[in-house]
Each structure stands twice: as structure tokens, then as C-alpha cells.
Amino acid sequence: EDQVTQSPEALRLQEGESSSLNCSYTVSGLRGLFWYRQDPGKGPEFLFTLYSAGEEKEKERLKATLTKKESFLHITAPKPEDSATYLCAVSGNQFYFGTGTSLTVIP
Amino acid sequence: KAGVTQTPRYLIKTRGQQVTLSCSPISGHRSVSWYQQTPGQGLQFLFEYFSETQRNKGNFPGRFSGRQFSNSRSEMNVSTLELGDSALYLCASSWGQGGTYEQYFGPGTRLTVT
């Protein structure tokens, strides 16, 4: 069965305290792994696409990596404006989303 | 470049009624997917349309239906509304079909069923 599991469900960090979010998956015929950011009351905002194990993508304080069974979203020296829910999705025949990690960065 | 737009942004309906939601994709995008988002279930895939044809369907009852027009705009219809249909309905557009390309989401339509 295709599925995506994200951990932790919630994460509280002090400003500047780096950490990682995890996305583990099982999917038949992986076409891509996607990271999104979602702010309350808004649609998810696209961050990264990863297609193959070993691939890495970076954007400002965020870095996404991919292995054969999981992906990590590393957040370096986070700021309060990074507070949001981060969603992971994998695509086989369709998109499967995880339930997200709710990140709170405290000033 | 304009993003994905959804109308209306908010809706309040009564049980038993039906509702139609609209989505305009990013210009040039031919794939439109619909999702239901609830606090307990997260984002659940409803269906995907590409070139006016439904290409994929999630595990939802037949009360949920959709269509896509020749200009790639899409509509989603829910008939005989139930209280459990209260959710944020999100539309996402993509350049290609089937999950190879990233999807870009609209702001969603918040549906409340009373």
C-alpha cells in the first residue's frame, strides 16, 4: 500500500536552533518526492522536487535530501517566519501526502 | 504569472444540497487535481483531469464529481452534501499529468455544511 509518514507531528524550535523533519514513504514506481509549506488558511506552497536517491535541493534556510526510503527537510538557523506546516508528498500514479509537521519557531 | 485561482473562497451549505466549486489553473497548465483537506485526514486526493479527461480518481463516493473544460478550467461538484463534507477543498495545477511534475495549489474553498 502506498503511504507517506511524516515525523515529528509537531516541532518547537528556538530561533537559530537547527533541526530536521523526516518523511518516510512506500510507493510503487516513485516518480518524485515533493515538499510543500502550508500556512494556516492557505493552500500549500511548493518548495522542492526530488527525483532520485542522493539528490539534494536548497533554498535559503531549507535543504531537502532524498534516499530510497525517506527524505529529510533540514532547517538551518530557523527564524519565526519559518513557522508553518511542512508537507511531504510522493507521486506514483497519483500524489500521496503525509499529514505534515507543524513547525513553530520561537523568537 | 497569475497563480491558481479558486472560487468561491467560502461557502456555507445545508445537508442535502449540492455545491459546485471552480478552479482556474496557471496559464499553460493542462492538469488539474482536486484534494479534500481536513484536520483529521490531511490532504486526500479526489481526482485528476488532463485534457478534459479524468485520468485518476481517489477513494471518494460518487457524490463527488468533476469536469474540465477546453481552456483547462475545472469544476468540482458535490451532491447530497453531508456534514462530513465540511473541509477545505484545494485545486492544484501542473504542467503534465500523473505526478511527474510539481503541483501548484490555489488558496482553497472552505466549505461548511450545516
Q: Model confidence over A72-95: pLDDT tens digits? A: 999 999 999 999 999 999 988 778
Listed in sequence order, the residues at least 6 apart from B58 whose beta carbon sits closer than 8 Å to its beta carbon are: A94, B44, B45, B46, B47
Question: How does residue B99 score in pLDDT terms, banded at 50, 70 and 90?
Answer: confident
Best of A28, A34, A49, A94 to disrupt the B interface by mutation (most B CBs within 10 Å)?
A94
Cell numbers for A60: 535559503
Q: Which residues are registered as beta bridge partners of A103?
A: A11, A84
CB A88 within 8 A of CB A33: yes
User: In the Cβ-directed half-sphere of A99, how many Cα atoms lie within 13 Å?
Assistant: 10
The amino acid present at B68, given as its one-letter code, is Q
pLDDT in tens, A19-51: 999 999 998 888 899 999 999 989 999 999 999
Q: Determine contact: B16 vs chain A, CB below 8 A.
A: no
Query: Are B45 and A94 an interchain contact pair (Cβ–Cβ within 8 Å)?
Result: yes
Q: Vertex B51, ends B45 and B54: CA angle to 5°?
A: 35
Q: Which three cell numbers stand for residue A22?
A: 523526516
Strand partners, A97: A89
Query: Closest-CA residue in chain A for B34?
Result: A95
**Which cell is A19 given?**
533541526
Residues whose CB is less than 8 angstroms from the CB of residue A102 and which lie 6 or more positions away in sequence, other chains included:
A9, A10, A11, A84, A85
